[in-house]
């Protein structure tokens, strides 16, 4: 069948999310029968593959493909190569998509041939009702917490540097190539950079929405931020232009603390400079926590204060580690 849209969904142990993700794809305002839906699995050990197989029995245009190397960029490339559809939408199993999502992506791409990537915004929700899960969802909306990307904090429609879960014309992918298969994370930053270098725009439309589920605990949030920061360190060797100023702030923060500690043993004024810098940071942390807690509830004040600091340290340290481990990349 000549499908019009290829939907690529990388998975790895997503039994908790894949069913509602697929349900949201089936319920799109864009005709489902025109979609070639490919779940590209990286070797799940839970029931992810069984769930997808059950969906395939009811909906033959939902397919399960295998990704032997697990990396998400490879899953994307497998999906692109396994379909002939003229447009590709890359979705995440960890989210569900509001009915207009794919229709909005298609209208955005077809509305201007210069657009190489079209996407929308996140409605960030907690995975459960626990204190830390809700705190993490609140943090993801904060410019102080994550950096203020348009798809997180909302913005007017227009050209941006990046959008999550984007959509692409096949002709553009054939021109610039697929995603780099040696980047376990940060592949979207590098891909978007290449899209812009080739003369295409990345378009953000706030009418295109998905519900994204934030990590449920402080530990998993820090683990995610560490991995994201490490990917920025790798991109330092791959494509420095894909790194924005907001990506480097946690690096400078952590590097400043480390240097301040060591230099304090050399010259006492460095200790007071470090102390002043930390005091300034914690004042900003407290103000951001108060502003968020005032809107969402005062019980989140202390958890926000702690989580802001922990995710910034995790991201910054991950970036430092990535700069040492990413030297093999070119």
Where do the domains of the chain lie?
Answer: 5-216, 238-325
Q: Which of 98, 30, 102, 19 is nearest to 56 (CA)?
A: 19
User: What is residue 1's predicted lDDT score, i.e. its pLDDT?
Assistant: 77
CA distance 262 to 145: 27
User: What is residue 326's predicted lDDT score, i.e. its pLDDT?
Assistant: 78
Of 6-15, 198-207, 237-246, 310-319, minimum mean pLDDT range = 237-246
pLDDT digits (tens, 9 = 90+) for 251-303: 999 999 999 999 999 999 999 999 999 999 999 999 999 999 999 999 999 99
Q: Which residue intervals of the chain are DSSP H helices?
A: 18-26, 48-58, 72-81, 101-110, 131-139, 143-146, 150-153, 170-176, 187-197, 218-238, 245-264, 268-296, 301-325
User: What is residue 246's predicted lDDT score, i.e. its pLDDT?
Assistant: 87
Residue 134 near residue 127, CB atoms below 8 Å: no
Name the pTM for this structure.
0.91
User: What is residue 330's predicted lDDT score, i.e. its pLDDT?
Assistant: 60
The CB-side HSE value for 296 (13 A sphere, CA atoms) comes to: 22
User: What is residue 153's predicted lDDT score, i.e. its pLDDT?
Assistant: 54
User: What is residue 154's predicted lDDT score, i.e. its pLDDT?
Assistant: 57
The average pLDDT across 126-134 equals: 95
Average pLDDT of the chain? Answer: 94
Tokens, residue 78? 């497998």
CA distance 248 to 83: 37
The CATH number of 5-216 is 3.90.550.10
């Amino acid at each position: 069948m000549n499908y019009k849209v290829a939907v690529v969904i990388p998975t790895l142990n997503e039994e908790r999310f894949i069913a509602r993700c697929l349900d949201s794809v089936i319920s799109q305002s864009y005709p489902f029968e025109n979609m070639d839906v490919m779940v590209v699995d990286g070797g799940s050990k839970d029931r992810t593959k069984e769930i997808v197989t059950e969906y395939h029995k009811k909906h033959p245009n939902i397919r399960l493909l295998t990704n032997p190397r697990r990396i998400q960029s490879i899953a994307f490339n497998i999906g692109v190569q396994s379909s002939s559809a003229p447009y590709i939408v890359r979705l995440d199993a960890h989210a569900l998509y509001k009915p207009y999502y794919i229709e909005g992506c298609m209208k955005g791409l077809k509305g201007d041939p210069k657009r190489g990537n079209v996407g929308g915004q996140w409605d960030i929700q907690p995975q459960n009702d626990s204190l830390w899960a809700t705190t993490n969802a609140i943090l993801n909306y904060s410019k102080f917490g994550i950096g203020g990307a348009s798809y997180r904090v909302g913005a007017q429609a227009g050209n941006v540097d990046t959008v999550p879960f984007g959509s692409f014309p096949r002709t553009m992918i054939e021109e610039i190539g697929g995603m780099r298969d040696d980047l376990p994370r940060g592949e979207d930053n590098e891909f978007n950079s290449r899209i812009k270098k080739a003369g295409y725009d990345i378009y953000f439309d706030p009418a295109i929405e998905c519900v994204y589920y934030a990590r449920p605990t402080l530990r998993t949030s820090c683990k995610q931020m560490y991995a994201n920061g490490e990917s920025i360190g790798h991109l330092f060797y791959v494509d420095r232009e894909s790194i924005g100023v907001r990506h480097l702030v946690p690096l400078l923060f952590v590097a400043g603390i480390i240097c301040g500690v060591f230099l304090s043993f050399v010259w006492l004024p460095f200790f007071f400079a470090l102390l002043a810098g930390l005091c300034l940071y914690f004042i900003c942390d407290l103000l951001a926590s108060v502003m968020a807690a005032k809107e969402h509830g005062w019980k989140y004040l202390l958890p926000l204060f702690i989580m802001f600091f922990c995710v910034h340290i995790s991201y910054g340290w991950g970036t430092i580690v990535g700069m040492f481990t990413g030297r093999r990349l070119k």
